[in-house]
């Protein structure tokens, strides 16, 4: 990690602002390892985020970074990519930022299959603003805005993004770190809209409200409730009850947006 730290982090800004035991730092480490594995040029890589605890990540990363407005990271990233298609554009977002206020940008980015890699930190809550429930909080979960338990059903965001037209969709978690690194790496390789849901933790709000124990207990829970797609295929419906499936959930070769756009430009210029 030391070598990566000096190369990819703005180390003078560390330690980061995240609370003790918040898994965001673990996920950022996987992101950096995936970028290293893919060999991306730091000067040709842009990391864009919205607003939230998770969206603070680019501030610590030694790339071209853009901290935008709440929910709008994909909109800004779309502009960056269309203006300079040769750049690698990565979006960091949260479950609130990406699926609530930014939900429309997410589905339309996926529908266009624009070449972005979107990493969504899912901690099941709005951490930054004090623990309100999000569209991805589980039914029954306690939050400051659902003191008696959440009556809403959460999105299966991977299904939603798949149905919206993305070419690569995967889910990982902050316990199985090498799997997560690999899933992000594959997303970076895909030329099209790549979406990775990374299950994170918010020990301070989600954890305390729902009595989930210490940060380490929350990580151990992920180890228990997450099963790989390959393992799930061999399990009965009963065994799979209550489990969350991880791995590459969807892949399809589809036309990429900036390439399609360039074809129109070329055609018009030939006239």
Ligand X SMILES: Cc1ncc(C[n+]2csc(CCOP(=O)(O)OP(=O)(O)O)c2C)c(N)n1
Q: In the range 3-42, which residues lie near ligand SF4 by CB under 6 A?
A: 18-19, 22, 24
Q: In this chain, which of 202, 219, 227, 248 binds ligand SF4, going by CB under 6 A? A: 202
Give the integer Cα–Cα distance in Å for 68 and 74: 10
Nearer to ligand X, 157 or 249 (CB): 157
Closest approach of ligand X to the CB of residue 138, in Å = 14
Instruction: Specify whether the CB–CB gap between 137 and 154 falls below 8 A.
Output: yes
- Among 45, 123, 164, 179, indicate the residue that binds ligand X (CB under 6 A): 123
Should residue 205 be labelled a site residue for ligand SF4 when binding is judged by CB under 6 A? Answer: yes
For ligand X, the closer CB: 55 or 88:
55
- Out of 33, 95, 115, 197, which residue is the one contacting ligand X (CB under 6 A)? 95
State the residue number with the nearest CB to ligand SF4.
Answer: 127
Selected binder of ligand SF4 within 123, 173, 181, 222 (CB under 6 A) = 123
Among ligand X, another protein, ligand SF4, none, what binds residue 70 when CB lies within 5 to 8 Å by partner kind? ligand X
Contact partner at residue 51 from ligand SF4, another protein, ligand X, none, CB < 5 to 8 Å by partner kind: ligand X
Distance between CA 148 and CA 144 in Å, rounded? 9
78: number of Cβ within 10 Å: 22
Binding partner of 205, given ligand X, ligand SF4, another protein, none, CB within 5-8 angstroms per partner class = ligand SF4
Rounded CA separation 123/202 (Å): 6
Strand partners, 194: 117, 168
Contact 56, 17 (CB under 8 A): yes
**Binding-residue pattern over the window 124 to 163 for ligand X, x denoting contact by CB under 6 A:** -xxxxx----x-----------------------------
Q: Closer to ligand X at the Cβ: 8 or 121?
A: 121
The minimum distance between CB 16 and another protein, in angstroms, equals: 7
Q: Nearest approach, Cβ of 21 to ligand SF4 (angstroms)?
A: 6
Out of another protein, ligand SF4, ligand X, none, what residue 204 binds, judged by CB under 5 to 8 A for its kind, is ligand SF4
Q: Which stretch binds ligand X (CB under 6 A): 46-54, 107-115, 146-154, 217-225?
A: 46-54
**Backbone φ/ψ region at 156: left (φ over 0), alpha (ψ -120 to 50), beta:** beta
Retrieve residue 193's tokens: 């809209």
Give me the residues that bind ligand SF4 (CB under 6 A), please: 18-19, 22, 24, 53, 123, 127-128, 202-205
């Amino acid at each position: 990690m030391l070598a990566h730290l000096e190369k990819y982090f703005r180390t003078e800004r560390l330690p980061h602002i995240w609370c003790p035991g918040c898994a965001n730092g673990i996920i950022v480490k996987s992101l950096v390892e995936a970028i290293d594995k893919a060999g991306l040029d730091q000067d040709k890589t842009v990391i864009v985020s919205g607003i939230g605890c998770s969206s603070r990540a680019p501030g610590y990363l030694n790339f071209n970074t853009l901290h935008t407005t709440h929910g709008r990271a994909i909109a800004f990233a779309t502009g960056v990519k269309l203006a300079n298609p040769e750049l690698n554009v990565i979006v960091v977002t949260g479950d609130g930022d990406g699926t609530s206020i930014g939900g429309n940008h997410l589905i339309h980015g996926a529908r266009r299959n624009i070449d972005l890699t979107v990493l969504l930190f899912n901690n099941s809550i709005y951490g930054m603003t004090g623990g309100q429930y999000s569209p991805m909080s589980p039914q029954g979960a306690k939050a400051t805005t659902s003191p008696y338990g959440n009556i809403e059903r959460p999105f299966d965001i991977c299904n939603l993004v798949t149905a919206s037209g993305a070419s690569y969709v995967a889910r990982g978690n902050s316990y199985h770190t090498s799997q997560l690194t690999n899933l992000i790496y594959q997303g970076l390789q895909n030329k099209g809209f790549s979406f990775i849901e990374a299950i994170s933790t918010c020990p301070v709000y989600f954890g305390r409200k729902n009595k989930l124990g210490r940060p380490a207990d929350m990580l151990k829970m992920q180890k228990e409730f997450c099963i790989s797609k390959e393992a799930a295929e061999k399990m009965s419906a009963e065994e799979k009850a209550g489990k969350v499936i991880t791995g590459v959930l969807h892949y399809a070769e589809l036309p990429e947006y900036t390439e399609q756009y360039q074809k129109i430009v070329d055609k018009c210029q030939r006239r």
